[in-house]
Structure 1
Amino acid sequence: MNILFTFVPLESVQEGIRQEYPDFTIHFSRIGSAADYLPEAEIIVTYGEDLNEDYIQKAEKLKWIMIMSAGMEKMPFDACAKREILVTNARGIHKIPMAEFTIGTMLQHVKQFPAIRRNEELEEWDRKVKVGELAGKHILILGIGAIGGETARLAKAFRMKVTGINRSGKPHQDADQTDTFENIEAYLPDADFIVSVLPSTDETKHLLKEEHFRMMKDTAVFINIGRGDLVQEEILLKVMGEQVIAHAYLDVFQTEPLPKGHPFWTMDNVTVTPHISSITENYMPRSLEIFRHNLQVYRTNEGSYINVIDLARGY
């Protein structure tokens, strides 16, 4: 059985995988250099950004694709569906780092850590910095799934009011209330933090419009750790330029890397981070655990796969 990894991890990780599965033929190669391996690959392990229909066609024996991330907007699902290729991903591994990243972002905002750090650099003893609290604040979580749910759990520990938004409106144990996307406007005027962990789908693309931001408090904070196409960049530039809300913390963008010279870099009320909310030293070990489980199911045809993707929906 041939497995093709279209990314090249550390040598120690490669050797560990080969030792764990000595009866497999395993190749580690960037997709552009994998022409010799594609025709025989029965399993492809990828981050989901390098495959296209042509590569799927060349992988004549391909039966399963394991995506070692949650993002799948660049995947050629139509080509996979035609071949009835199984697709799974690593959904769920991001919930701890991304929830912690969100809490950290909210804490630095209310505790004014950037301002305090600037004063330290200037050697200014300023006790008039307006430091606040998370307790009693209202967080509106767009996409209260694995990541959003963990964010909600941590937010409740800080005594925040939590509203979750999802497709079905199904209640979540760590949310005070849960509703559907159709009713999002009812919660925007009261929210102190609007946090998006939404993936990129036909339903979520450009979900937030200019009028949504104008419904928010002028003290509201927008945090996007989901996908950059949730709101059109031109709209976000406009509302932040007009200071419609207090601050936007952006970890994702329409174009990545964010180009040098882009206005977001220099806007005082926008904080840019380079799509790192999910990245820690535990990323690879957690995704490999899901791969190992699913590979065992694949080999034995016993048990259930984790995170099977509905190819028609794209998630």
Structure 2
Amino acid sequence: MILFSAKLSSKHQTKLAQHFPDQHFRFHETMNEAKKDLAEAEVLVTFGDDLTESLLKKAEKLKWIMVLSAGMDQMPLDAIGKRNILVTNARGIHKTPMSEYVISMLLQVYRQAKTLIHNEESHHWDKGVHMQELTGKTMLIAGAGAIGQEVARLAKAFQMKTIGISRSGKSVDYFDANYPTAELAKLLPETDIVVSVLPSTPETEHFYTYEHFQLLPNHAVFLNMGRGNAVDSDVLLQAVRQGEIAHAILDVFEVEPLPENHPFWREENITVTPHLSGVSKQYITRALEIFDHNLQTYQKSETDFINKIDVTRGY
């Protein structure tokens, strides 16, 4: 039985049932509803943040978990690994909306959108607003996977120099150069923009230090849309207030939702968005295309799964 704890439209439910007539699907909108069927589930389709170790124990027949998101940090990976349960996710489907988010947010900063909107609302004509160009900047992208690669591709439309860092440092299309993450510090003095799409792993927790922000030029912009715990909030706030960087664009945070009284909200040189860089009307359709492929693979007892996760690493 294939159990969904992720809400699907009736259109998507019908399409799956028609495409896989020999499979028995049970569709629920939440894990609270789905948990009554866990004992019979061989496949679980979830967004990943609703599966606990205690619930996993109830799923005695479970062989495969399909996560309809990229984040794995809230899942009981140790327990999953001990049972040798296959895990796949929807990594890569976010590349279009997230890369567009990067360009739109950077243009917002460089072309002073906040100030222009404020002036419009107050009927204030000011031609002295300090405009800057995005073209020709050097962008360092931390995380050179599918999302980072698409960011780099779009950055090339603005004639930017693109530098990627990743665990391996291997060469990737649309990057002028690629380096291992250990070489980050030496790259920062010549970087205008840092875009972080790092996943949440033990190695990436508080990855960015105050010294890193000191190494950046004081005109630099830091954008984080990977995971909020890649940087300590107090460290980032201090870097902005001390002028180590010019602006921070944040879509992810150590605590979400961001508390109403958090100083990030009030900081002029910080742009806050509510973890929506990957939002798209095409999201579920793209995620289910991966599930469709992987279910066909699973039925045939083959091994060419898309986005098979190494649970020891969390990605």
TM-score by length of 2: 0.96
**Deviation by residue 1:226-259 (Cα, 9 ceiling, x = unmatched):** 0000011121122223232111110000111111
Question: In the superposition, relative to structure 1, how do residues 131 and 33 fare at CA in structure 2: closer, same or farther (>3 Å)?
Answer: same
1:35 alignment partner, SS class: helix
Matched, 1:248 2:256: no
* Cα shift at 1:261: 1.2
2:36 alignment partner, SS class: coil
Provide the C-alpha distance between the structure 1 equivalents of 2:170 and 2:250, rounded to a whole number of angstroms.
27
Aligned counterpart, 1:43 = 43
Deviates more, 1:258-267 or 1:289-298: 258-267
* Cα shift at 1:45: 0.3
* Cα shift at 1:161: 1.0
Aligned AA (1:246): A
Aligned counterpart, 1:158 = 158
Aligned AA (2:19): E
Aligned counterpart, 2:144 = 144
Aligned counterpart, 1:113 = 113
Provide the C-alpha distance between the structure 1 equivalents of 2:56 and 2:22, rounded to a whole number of angstroms.
24
Number of equivalent positions:
314
Aligned counterpart, 1:16 = 15
Provide the C-alpha distance between the structure 2 equivalents of 1:20 and 1:178, rounded to a whole number of angstroms.
41
* Cα shift at 1:24: 2.3
Provide the C-alpha distance between the structure 1 equivalents of 2:90 and 2:34, rounded to a whole number of angstroms.
23
For structure 2, the 5+ residue unaligned runs are: none
Aligned AA (1:147): I
Is the CA contact (8 Å cut-off) linking 2:68 and 2:90 kept in structure 1? yes
Aligned counterpart, 2:284 = 284
Aligned counterpart, 1:123 = 123
**Deviation by residue 1:123-158 (Cα, 9 ceiling, x = unmatched):** 223222222211111111111111001101111111
For structure 1, the 5+ residue unaligned runs are: none
Deviates more, 1:25-34 or 1:90-99: 25-34
2:81 alignment partner, SS class: helix
Aligned counterpart, 2:133 = 133
* Cα shift at 1:18: 3.1
Deviates more, 1:120-129 or 1:73-82: 120-129
% identity of equivalent residues: 50
1:139 alignment partner, SS class: strand
Matched, 1:208 2:220: no
Matched, 1:54 2:54: yes
Provide the C-alpha distance between the structure 1 equivalents of 2:276 and 2:16, rounded to a whole number of angstroms.
26
Matched, 1:296 2:296: yes
**Deviation by residue 1:236-288 (Cα, 9 ceiling, x = unmatched):** 12222323211111000011111111111111111110000001101100000
Deviates more, 1:12-21 or 1:44-53: 12-21
* Cα shift at 1:303: 6.0
Aligned counterpart, 1:4 = 3
Provide the C-alpha distance between the structure 2 equivalents of 1:264 and 1:283, rounded to a whole number of angstroms.
29
How big is the alpha-carbon RMSD for the aligned residues of Structure 1 and Structure 2? Answer: 1.4
Provide the C-alpha distance between the structure 1 equivalents of 2:303 and 2:48, rounded to a whole number of angstroms.
25
**Deviation by residue 1:80-139 (Cα, 9 ceiling, x = unmatched):** 111111100111101111111101111121112222222222222322222221111111
* Cα shift at 1:17: 2.9
2:179 alignment partner, SS class: strand
Provide the C-alpha distance between the structure 2 equivalents of 1:121 and 1:240, rounded to a whole number of angstroms.
27
1:257 alignment partner, SS class: coil
Runs of 4+ in structure 1 deviating by more than 4 angstroms, as ranges, are none
Aligned counterpart, 2:193 = 193
* Cα shift at 1:55: 1.4
TM-score by length of 1: 0.96
Structure 1 residues 167-186: aligned runs within 5 Å: 167-186=167-186
Provide the C-alpha distance between the structure 1 equivalents of 2:238 and 2:125, rounded to a whole number of angstroms.
35
Aligned counterpart, 2:221 = 221
Deviates more, 1:260-269 or 1:119-128: 119-128
Structure 1 residues 254-265: aligned runs within 5 Å: 254-265=254-265
Is the CA contact (8 Å cut-off) linking 2:4 and 2:34 kept in structure 1? no
